[in-house]
Homo-oligomer: A and B are copies of this chain.
Amino acid sequence: MNKTQQQISEGILFTDQYQLTMAQLYYRIGLHEKKAQFDYFFRDYPDYGSHKSGYCVNAGLEWLLDWMGEARFGALEIEQLKSQRSSTGEQLFADDFLDWLSKNGNFESVTLYSIPEGRVVHPNTPLAVVQGDLAMAQILETSLLNHLTYQTLIATKASRMKDNCCSQLLMEFGLRRAQERAAIAGTRAALIGGADFSSNVGISHVLGIPPKGTHAHSMVQVFLALGATELDAFRAFAEIYPDDCILLVDTINTLESGVPNAIRVFEELRKKGHQPAGIRLDSGDLAFLSIHSAKQLNDAGFPDAKIVLSNQLDELAIWQITSQIQREAERYGVDPDSLLDRLAYGVGTGLITSKGDAALDGVYKLVALEEEGQWIPAIKISETPQKTLIPGNKRLWRVYDERGKATADLIALHDEDVENLDPLVLRHPSLTSMRRALTKDQFSKIEPLLLPVFDGGKPVYQSPSIEEMRTQRQDDLKMLDPGVRRLVNPHIYHVSISQTLWDLKKNLVQKYERNNA
């Protein structure tokens, strides 16, 4: 692709064709500048098959806002659309509509509210609320979902891994097997969600987080092919990187060749006054090899040398390795806790592709239209009651119980004074019998979650740094019941709607059913 082609494919035409055909229809019948509200939410947590998440980590917003600020129908884009033909050969998009697009085809009419990146989020709650002219708010759908769902998916996966590697270093290594340039956004999301570092050089520099990496098997192979040895390869590496010397020890035989050779080189480094960094294991039974490598390193006087594990890791593999070490290490004279403390994890494909569930089922639904300055709720009924939309101009709140733990996310109408309700009624969005009423002393805080982030064609929000997002994520995770954080079969976090919203929804459903009876 050349630069022009990249502009065409990544700009405002990074959308679905039907958004444009609908926009032209709205233009034709005079609804294109009618104010509409769409909610973005996802329907369920990622389900990885044998395990499932009990929470997600929100991500992707900053780059969506960048895209919204830049994307518009310029001459290049209009020229593309003008070339489209109906099946009978006429111009598909009429000149008057294209004129309107070339003047108004940007996001200046759109106001976006969103929950910040790094926050823990839950299904069926509005994570972004879009208010704007119907035509452009409709065109936004595809790119908004694309930007937000992918990064949220990867940040969530990273958080699950980080949460299960005993607070040790987690490194993202997935660029080679990633979905082409999604690797860049995926790396960012991984760094928000739990990865401490990434091997991906370019985006690490952009984000100000040093890229990490040492050497591959191919380096040892080059030495072997030239008649030299693994030890020669290790010595050459240590010579150049004496203070960052992580040696990959499994090219020939981990315990009989790699670790003993690494120890010789570490001894040489130490004599020269350097601190050897550690070894990396990239094949075989990683728990077994960790224990036995640790034993050799301990016996040789390197109890602090790190052991980096890589190869097909995901959160379950990390859990399996840490469990096996806890069970077996002592039998070989290795203290399991000190071993777990010296481990680090390099995760590739399993993180960057969200192994087991490669897409978050995000949706973007019309919930209100403005009539004479008032937001009129729109509803869509589904035969599955859980899929019936929650209508209206809403906001999202997080309710903390008397212990300070997050007890529910509450969806309420935008003008409800939820902080002063007593009791605060939390209703299940669709099941009548499931409701709680909290008196003032049963909750400690109600926190509004949606902030205005885009208005008048530009971001109106200073995105937090990656470091701030990580702190936010850790704070939110601490507020969750530990059962919600379980890898397998997590507790279900409560997502509730207010009594007022419940009544509104019920009335709309009844009205709809009367009309269609």
A180's partner among B84, B147, B236 (CB-CB below 8 A) is B147
Binds B, one of A295-303, A351-359, A464-472: A351-359
Q: Are A151 and B176 in contact (CB under 8 A)?
A: no
A181's partner among B8, B180, B221, B360 (CB-CB below 8 A) is B180
Q: In the assembly, what is the distance between CA of A218 and CA of B134, in Å? A: 10
Question: Which of A22, A200, A203, A358 gathers most chain B CB within 10 Å?
Answer: A358
- Counting CB contacts under 8 A, is A404 at the interface? no
Would A24 and B240 be within 8 Å (CB), given that A142-B175, A176-B142, A181-B181 are in contact? yes
Q: Are A199 and B88 in contact (CB under 8 A)?
A: no
- Counting CB contacts under 8 A, is A460 at the interface? no
Q: In the assembly, what is the distance between CA of A92 and CA of B183, in Å? A: 25
- Counting CB contacts under 8 A, is A75 at the interface? no
* Closest residue on chain B to residue A224 by CB atoms: B378
Q: Are A213 and B244 in contact (CB under 8 A)?
A: no
Q: Are B31 and A222 in contact (CB under 8 A)?
A: yes
Chain B residues with Cβ under 8 A from A45's Cβ? none
C-beta contact mask, A173-190 vs B, less than 8 Å → 1, else 0?
101111111111110000
A429 vs chain B, min Cβ distance (A) = 19
* Closest residue on chain B to residue A378 by CB atoms: B225
- Counting CB contacts under 8 A, is A217 at the interface? yes
- Counting CB contacts under 8 A, is A507 at the interface? no
Would A369 and B149 be within 8 Å (CB), given that A17-B199, A185-B181, A200-B16 are in contact? no
- Counting CB contacts under 8 A, is A495 at the interface? no
Q: In the assembly, what is the distance between CA of A205 and CA of B80, in Å? A: 7
Q: Are A63 and B1 in contact (CB under 8 A)?
A: yes
- Counting CB contacts under 8 A, is A345 at the interface? no
- Counting CB contacts under 8 A, is A452 at the interface? no
Q: In the assembly, what is the distance between CA of A368 and CA of B224, in Å? A: 11
Would A9 and B203 be within 8 Å (CB), given that A181-B181, A215-B25 are in contact? yes
Q: In the assembly, what is the distance between CA of A213 and CA of B9, in Å? A: 17
* Count of chain A residues with a beta carbon within 8 Å of a chain B beta carbon: 116
Chain B residues with Cβ under 8 A from A2's Cβ? 66
Q: Are A175 and B252 in contact (CB under 8 A)?
A: no
Would A13 and B359 be within 8 Å (CB), given that A25-B215, A175-B142, A221-B378 are in contact? no
Q: In the assembly, what is the distance between CA of A335 and CA of B225, in Å? A: 66
Report the copy number of this chain in the oligomer.
Answer: 2
Q: Are A21 and B215 in contact (CB under 8 A)?
A: yes
Question: Which of A16, A186, A216, A362 gathers most chain B CB within 10 Å?
Answer: A16
Chain B residues with Cβ under 8 A from A359's Cβ? 177-178, 349, 353
Q: In the assembly, what is the distance between CA of A389 and CA of B218, in Å? A: 12
C-beta contact mask, A214-235 vs B, less than 8 Å → 1, else 0?
1111110110111000000000
Would A201 and B362 be within 8 Å (CB), given that A182-B179, A251-B380 are in contact? no
* Closest residue on chain B to residue A387 by CB atoms: B283
Would A369 and B516 be within 8 Å (CB), given that A28-B240, A214-B18, A358-B354 are in contact? no
Chain B residues with Cβ under 8 A from A236's Cβ? 25, 28-29
Q: Are A176 and B145 in contact (CB under 8 A)?
A: yes
- Counting CB contacts under 8 A, is A150 at the interface? yes
- Counting CB contacts under 8 A, is A241 at the interface? yes
Question: Which of A9, A28, A88, A226 gathers most chain B CB within 10 Å?
Answer: A9
A294 vs chain B, min Cβ distance (A) = 21
Chain B residues with Cβ under 8 A from A239's Cβ? 28
Within 8 A of B (CB), among A1-55: 1-2, 5, 8-11, 13-22, 24-26, 28-29, 31, 36, 38, 49
Q: Are A186 and B175 in contact (CB under 8 A)?
A: no
Given contacts A179-B353, A218-B366, 5 further A-B contacts (CB under 8 A): A14-B181, A15-B201, A31-B222, A87-B244, A88-B243
CB<8 Å pairs between A and B, sample of 22 = A2-B66, A8-B202, A9-B203, A14-B175, A15-B175, A17-B213, A18-B199, A20-B201, A21-B241, A22-B218, A29-B236, A142-B176, A145-B177, A176-B362, A178-B359, A179-B180, A181-B181, A217-B380, A221-B366, A221-B380, A225-B379, A354-B358
